[in-house]
Amino acid sequence: MKRILLTVMVIVAGLSAIAPDTYAQSSNRNARAATKQEKMDAWHRDMAEFRARSAQDRQMAALTDSIASVQARAALQNQDFVLEADNVTFRSGSTVFVNSSTNFISVKGNRAVVQISPSNFASGPNGVGGVTVDGVISGQQITKGKDGRITFSMNVMGIGINAQVEIYMFPGSNQASATVYPNFNSNTVWLSGKIVPYENSNVFEGMSL
């Protein structure tokens, strides 16, 4: 009898020791689960805020592009614009990223200036690393393609230039590219950048030929 009672007491003592450990383990699991859920909730909140900010940024960018596009189209129609180029591609196929303040095509009334200054180190004939030529425009024409792209074409004739110039502006923004076809050689050059109204341009015109 005593042996039976002793055995029962040992079992009860063991269960008593195990119960707190089991409770503690359960509490730890619940705490970890709660912490994980809090992190997940915080992540979902952060993502929701990010998406909201991104949507606002996209809307603002779209509005800015739309305004810039309207201004650029009006500037083209009025022949009062500058294509500020950020890269120039030469007939060899090489593309150079350039300073938009010294690489541009400008039109003001019946006068056009084409300036290519790919070098930031050599002064060049124009004093700013390249060549500047200006002339009088003629045969200007504006057309709109089915895809919404605007094409402005013109002939530029002067002492330092005799070329055909085509400028392509893409729909929904003021991004544009241009091709300059010299009539006296085959050194065609391509420029890419953005069109801005003449009075809003930040270009620096060097010495023309």
Structure confidence at residue 196 as a pLDDT band (50, 70, 90): very high
Residue 68 belongs to some domain of the structure: yes
What are the pLDDT digits (tens) for 137-174? 999 999 998 888 999 999 999 887 889 999 999 888 89
CATH code assigned at 17: 2.40.128.410
Q: Give the whole-angstrom CA distance, residue 197 versus residue 84.
A: 10
Would you call 174 exposed, middle or buried from its count of C-beta atoms within 10 A (0-12, 13-18, 19+)? buried
More confident residue, 37 or 176: 176
Q: Residue 119 corresponds to which tokens in the numbers above?
A: 């070098």
Q: Average pLDDT of the chain?
A: 82
Q: 81: closest CA among 209, 208, 206, 203? A: 203
Q: What is the DSSP letter of 40?
A: H
Give, in order, the Cα–Cα distances in Å from 47 to each of 4, 33, 42, 44, 93: 64, 21, 9, 5, 44
- Amino acid 95 reads T
Digit-coded pLDDT (tens) for 110-146: 999 999 998 766 677 888 888 899 999 999 999 998 8
State which residues form the domain around 125.
1-203
CA distance 120 to 106: 21
pLDDT in the model for residue 152: 97
At 197 the pLDDT is 96
- Cα 6 from Cα 11, distance rounded (Å): 9
| Calpha distance 110→79 (Å, rounded) | 8
Q: What percent of the chain has pLDDT over 90?
A: 46
% of the chain beyond a pLDDT of 70: 78
Tell me how many domains the chain contains.
Answer: 1
Quick one: residue 39, left, alpha or beta (phi over 0 = left, psi -120 to 50 = alpha)?
alpha
AA letter at 77: Q
Establish if 208 belongs to a structural domain: no
The predicted structure's pLDDT at residue 56: 65
Bridge partners of residue 108, in order along the sequence: 80, 111
Is residue 58 one of the residues assigned to a domain? yes
Q: Write phi, then psi, for 128 (nearest 5 degrees).
A: -130, 30
Task: Give 26-63 pLDDT, tens digit per residue.
Answer: 666 777 777 877 877 777 777 777 777 766 666 665 65
User: For residue 49, how many other CB atoms are within 10 A of its CB?
Assistant: 10
Report the chain's C-alpha Rg in angstroms.
35
In the prediction, which pLDDT does 87 show? 95
pLDDT exceeds 50 at position 15: no
pTM over 0.85: no
Residue 209 included in any domain: no
187: three-class secondary structure by DSSP = coil
Kindly state the average pLDDT of the residues 5-34: 57
3 state DSSP class of 181: strand
The per-residue pLDDT for 148 is 87
| Structural domain contains residue 5 | yes
Low-confidence winner among 3-7, 59-63, 150-154, 181-185 (lowest mean pLDDT) = 3-7
User: For position 10, what pLDDT does the model report?
Assistant: 43
| Alpha carbon of residue 151 to chain centroid | 22
